[in-house]
Amino acid sequence: MNLWLIKKKMKKYNKIEVSLVEKEDKILLNKHKSYVVWFTGLSGSGKSTLAKHLEKKLYDHGIRTVLLDGDNLRNNLNKDLGFSMSDRAENIRRVSELAKLFIDSGIVTLSAFISPIETERNNARINIGDENFIEVFCSCSIEKCMERDKKQLYKNVALGNIKNFTGVDSKYEIPKEPELVLHTDEESISSCINQIMEYLITNKYINKKGNES
């Protein structure tokens, strides 16, 4: 037996069989494509709010979704992580791996994380696949974010209780080429959701009935 054939057989035997059902089969069953809508922006820019409203809109179109939110994951899956640069990078890495699992299961994933570093977002895009990654930048002035401040985070930053807070004393790198830029300090929630839906329909992620085009 030649060396090429031996290597081929070894590759076959070493391959881990995760599922007997392919991603494409799950997409056919669900009758819609799977992808991630990755919301990024400052705290208070409207990421989670838009993700929740988009989830409802997609549900009304018969699309199966899962919502991954920064606060929720840091209270369970990523509760062992702090807010150092290395921990933040690991937080986003885990999120991208989780999103990929959902996408491979045929489920649309809505991800709402500050994800302040361009390299980390790009790594998530590469891991998930460019064709499955829709980056939505929630553009909002720091003044408007501070005005909203539902969690009293900016207030605690001003009091000195929180250090290395994104947008104040820790950098946020604005996305260079996001699929969508939503000016959440100027536009209504419904306007922003309509823009996302228009993008999804125009780029054939869904049609007007929610089924795969």
Instruction: Enumerate the active-site residues.
Output: 115
Backbone Cα Rg of the chain: 20
* Token pair 């500050």 in the structure block, residue: 114
Among 200, 195, 181, 199, which Cα is nearest to 45's?
181
Q: Where are the beta strands (DSSP E) in 41-92?
A: 65-69
Contact 35, 104 (CB under 8 A): no
Using alpha carbons, list the distances in angstroms from residue 176 to 122, 135, 180, 195: 10, 10, 11, 19
How many Å apart are CA 86 and CA 115, to the nearest integer? 12
Question: To 10 degrees, the CA torsion angle through 55, 56, 57, 63?
Answer: 60
